[in-house]
Structure 1
Amino acid sequence: MTNMTTKDFGHIVATMSGMFTTPGFYMICAIRVEAEQYIFIFLMNCFIRPAVCCTGLVSNLISLAILKRSGLHKPSNILLLGLVVADSLYLLSGLNYAAIINMFGPDKLNPYICVYQYDYALDYFLLISDLVITFIGSWGFLASTVIPILITLERLLALFRPMTFKNSVTTKRTTIAVTCSFLIWLPWMLGWNSFYVILSVKITQTVTFMNLWIPDSKITYILSILRLYVINNIVSFLTIAFITLGCCIIWIKMILVLRLKRKLASSRNKQYWSPRTTRTLVLTCVVFAVTHGASSVGGIMSTRFSGMPFYFLNEARHLIYPLNASSSLFVYILSNKKLYTNFRAILRCST
């Protein structure tokens, strides 16, 4: 923990003191917004996004039950299970009460400064809560970008190497691959978070200002560049491009194979892959590619606007991710009759 001096923090306060709240304007941390913009951002962050995340977590629990009922010995179900777990971890970040309090918390001494502004113990609890929840959510998000790639590769092997598919894509290997999709991001996540320091200063007898900072250094600068230009492109445009291309190839190949099978009209020809499973896996990847693509484009487009259009695009693109993370149950119901039957059986058992 690093303690700021009152003089240092006083300089920050003096620098930002010209942005006081005036009639018709409000402060969200260091951002000065109009009344309607404040209401919109408040509703999105405090009600709509948490509601979507809560709904998504419930639907993902049902998805886990469906997959368990269908059988976790199947490689395809293990892949879907890993994606649901990763999505659920990400959805927890939408319930980050500490971040909401930081932005909209009551009784702030200086609302234009984005720090926790309560007593020391409460500040520390909120700070650690924010750090842990953000870590879990970011870890789940990064893992959820790898598993659709594994799903795409699995279906490509099923369609183009059907004779050797069952021997090469086993339950054990799939489980290891899904586990690795989580583990490969741990060094990055732990490394990045290791640079955080807690800065605090006691303003009054009852109020302490506290927040996390990453100090400026050569290594943190390099990591910031790596995060901005390498990690962000890997988990967005490169992943989307690979999945989109893979899904197109899978869909074309599946149509050609099914058409050839109908022409042969032979029941003796054994099919080593399931069109139903392929449809579910491909639709899962398509939803991922469309939502993440829309969010990436929205991020680029939002920089061209200001005022309400900017805040609308920015909040909308951040809502797309929870919607994608909540989509598994709907994909199962719409694309797979067997999974839909399992869903109905679960509903009957619950009633």
Structure 2
Amino acid sequence: MKPVRVAVLAFEGVSLFHLSVPGIVFGVTPAPSGLPPYEVHYCAPTPGRVRCDQGMEIEVPGGLGAMDNADIVIVPAWNHPENAAPEVLSNALRQAHARGAQVVGLCLGAFVLGDAGLLDERRATTHWACRELFAKRFPRANFLPDVLYVDDGNVITSAGTVAAIDCCLNLVRQRHGADVANRVARLLVTPPHRQGGQAQYIEQPVPSLPSESRLPGVLEWAREHLSEPLSLDVLAEVARMSRRTFTRRFREATGMTFVKWLAAERIARAQLLLETTDLPIEQIATEVGFSSALSLRQHFAGQLHTSPSAYRRLFCEGQHGTSE
């Protein structure tokens, strides 16, 4: 399979975590079947030694020319979001995007994409702590302050630290499908692919009460019964909680309402079936628990801004293109 070329930007004060995430996700070993080789190269406006945010110095051998033939260009969190990125970097990003590369801003790296004008009239997000600054600096962006990541026109932006992993796993999913992305996640011992529309900020992510520890099992049970009519009452009964307690615990644990979570899970399952089977849309709708193909199409359009048929066609074309 043809290698996928990735250019990751380094700069003075760069986040060591964000600098490492692309190599960790795309270079996972042993590589699962279906994942082509990824060539991850690091570049900087000025090649040489760069001090990261943890105080360590790293040697970056290449300049911005690494972006010239990259399939994916990734900008880690920008350390001074109040300051504009240098114009030489903005030009390199615009040129990469113009020739068809995916351009990704992890966390505060979204500010660099905004400085390059790549977020104008596009949906975008960044870390919730800088939402006011982002909205002020980039008023032409369609800012979504609460999501994990968002992809609009080959320009991808993500939220805070760990969302960088979700974002890179989503890039794997886009190119190679849900099964490959989930196997990469298992090798990394990280939760499977999360939809970008999930909330950034979860009030209580770590269970602290015995009753809360039952929630992960209940969510897994729900995923195994998506084709059935599920409701808050049904899941509360499975969790052995009152409806009121379950509603509160569910929101604290997922950052979402039950209705939104259920729709996202059903769409994720529909994506998997569209990628891996030839089942008709009507049957997929039944398999994932929607009342009709129309309902599936409406939810699909609301979450992914495309139709199931167009998604299947685009995914198949993408698979063909990356396996040549």
Q: Same fold (TM over 0.5)?
A: no
Q: Which has the higher helix share?
A: 1
TM range (shorter): under 0.3
Name the structure with the higher strand share.
Answer: 2
Say which one has the larger Rg: 1
Which one scores higher on RCO, CA 8 angstroms, separation ≥ 6?
Answer: 1
